[in-house]
Structure 1
Amino acid sequence: MKIYFKLPKLLLLFTFFCVISCNKVSEQGTEKFQIISEIKKEKSSPFYIDTEHYPGTRNSLPIGIFDSGTGGLTVLNFILELDKFNNQSHEDDADGIADFFSERFIYLADEANMPYGKYDAEGNTDFLKELVIKDVRFLLGRKYYELPSDSIAKTDKVPVKAIVIACNTATAFGLEIVQEAVKEWGLDIIVIGIIDAGSKSAVDLLNSVGSKDRVIGVLATEGTCASNGYPKAIQKHFKNEFQHDEIRVVQQAGIGLAGAIDGDINYIEPAVAKVRDHELYHGPGLNNPQYPIDISLWKEYNFETGRNLLVSKDSDGNIIEVQLNSVNNYIKYCVTHLVIKVLQKHPDRNINPVILGCTHYPFFKKEIRDHFMYLKNLDNKYGKIIPEDILLIDPAQSLAIELYRYLVLNSLFGSDKNENSKFYISVPNPLLPENQIDENGEFPYHFKYRRSINQSLQFVKIVPFSNQWIDEEIRFRIRNSMPYSYEIIFKEE
Structure 2
Amino acid sequence: MSIGIFDSGVGGLTVFKEISKTFPSADIYYLGDTARVPYGNKSKETIIRYSLECANYLVGFDIDILVVACNTASSYAINVLKDSLNIPVIGVINPGVQEAVKVTKNKKIGVIGTYGTIRSNSYKNRLEELGEYQVYQKACPLFVPIVEEGLMNHKITKLIIKEYLEDIVSKGIDTIILGCTHYPLLKDKIKEIYPSITIIDSSKATANYIKKLGFDLSGSGNRRIFITDESPAFENLKSSVVGSIKLEKIELSKICTL
TM-score bracket relative to the smaller structure: 0.7 to 0.9
Per-residue CA shift, 1:456-477, capped at 9, x if unaligned?
Answer: xxxxxxxxxxxxx342x65444
Structure 1 equivalent of residue 254 of structure 2? none
Q: Which residue of 2 aligns with 1:413?
A: 217
Secondary structure in 1 matching 2:129: helix
Matched, 1:352 2:186: no
1:41 corresponds to which residue? none
Counterpart residue number, 1:132: 51
Within the candidate set 236, 244, 249, 2:135 is matched to 249
The answer to whether the Cα contact below 8 Å between 1:63 and 1:163 also exists between their aligned partners in 2 is yes
Cα deviations by residue, 1:357-383 (Å, 9 ceiling, x for unpaired): 00011122223334xx2xxxxxxxxxx
Residues 111 and 177 of structure 2 are in contact (CA less than 8 Å); yes or no, is this contact kept in structure 1?
A: yes
Distance 1:341 1:205 in 2: 18
* CA contact 1:363–1:477 (8 Å) conserved in 2: no
Provide the C-alpha distance between the structure 2 equivalents of 1:168 and 1:79, rounded to a whole number of angstroms: 16
Query: CA 1:139–1:230 in 2, change beyond 3 Å: closer, same or farther?
Result: same
SS where residue 243 of structure 2 aligns?
helix
Partner of 2:9: 69
Question: Aligned partners of 1:338 and 1:101: how far apart in 2?
Answer: 35
Cα distance in 1 between the residues matched to 2:188 and 2:34? 25
Indicate if the aligned counterparts of 1:105 and 1:422 stay in contact, CA closer than 8 A.
Answer: yes
Q: 1:190 aligns with which of 83, 88, 95?
A: 88
- How does the TM-score come out when normalised to structure 1? 0.46
Give the counterpart letter for 1:391 in structure 2: T
Name the amino acid aligned to 1:250: Y
Q: 1:365 to 1:216 in 2, by over 3 A?
A: same
Give how far 1:219 is off: 1.0
Q: Report SS of the residue matched to 1:392.
A: strand
Q: Which amino acid aligns with 2:207?
A: A
Task: Tell me which structure has the larger Cα radius of gyration.
Answer: 1
Structure 1 364/334 Cα, relative in aligned 2: closer, same or farther at 3 Å? Answer: closer
- In structure 2, the residue matched to 1:339 is 166
CA shift in 2, pair 1:332/1:132, >3 Å: farther
Contact 1:165 1:191 in 2 (8 A): yes
Higher strand share: 2
1:389 and 2:193 are equivalent in the alignment: no
Q: Residue 403 of structure 1 aligns with which residue?
A: 210
CA contact (8 A) 2:227 2:247 kept: no
- Report if the CA contact (8 A) 2:115-2:141 is conserved: yes
Aligned residue in 1 for 2:20: 80
- Kindly state the Cα deviation for residue 351 of structure 1 after the two structures are TM-superposed: 2.3
SS at structure 1 position matched to 2:173 = strand
Runs of 5+ unmatched residues, structure 1: 1-58, 83-99, 142-157, 183-187, 240-245, 264-301, 305-327, 374-385, 428-468
Which of the pair has the greater relative contact order for Cα pairs under 8 Å at 6+ separation? 2
Which amino acid in the other structure matches residue 251 of structure 1?
Q
CA distance 1:115–1:191, shift in 2 (3 Å): same
**Structure 2 unmatched ranges of 5 or more:** 249-258
Aligned to 1:486: 243
Q: Helix, strand or coil for the counterpart of 1:66?
A: strand
* TM-score with structure 2 setting the length: 0.84
Let me know the Cα RMSD of the aligned residues: 2.6
1:173 partnered with 2:76: yes
Is 2:144 the partner of 1:258?
yes
Q: Percent identity?
A: 30
- Asked if the contact 2:4–2:28 (Cα under 8 Å) also holds between the matched residues in 1, the reply is yes
The structural deviation recorded for 1:478 is 4.0
Contact kept, 8 Å, 1:132 with 1:170, in 2: the verdict is: yes
SS at the partner of 1:113?
A: coil
Displacement of 1:261 after TM fit? 3.5
1:361 maps to which of 143, 159, 183: 183
Counterpart amino acid of residue 248 in structure 1? Q
Is 1:426 the equivalent of 2:228?
yes
Q: CA deviation at 1:256?
A: 4.3
Residue equivalent to 1:227: 120
CA distance in 1, matches of 2:120, 2:205: 21
Aligned ranges 1:301-380 → 2 under 5 Å: 304=156, 328=157, 332-333=159-160, 335-343=162-170, 346=171, 350-370=172-192, 373=193
In the alignment, residue 189 of structure 2 is paired with which amino acid?
A: E
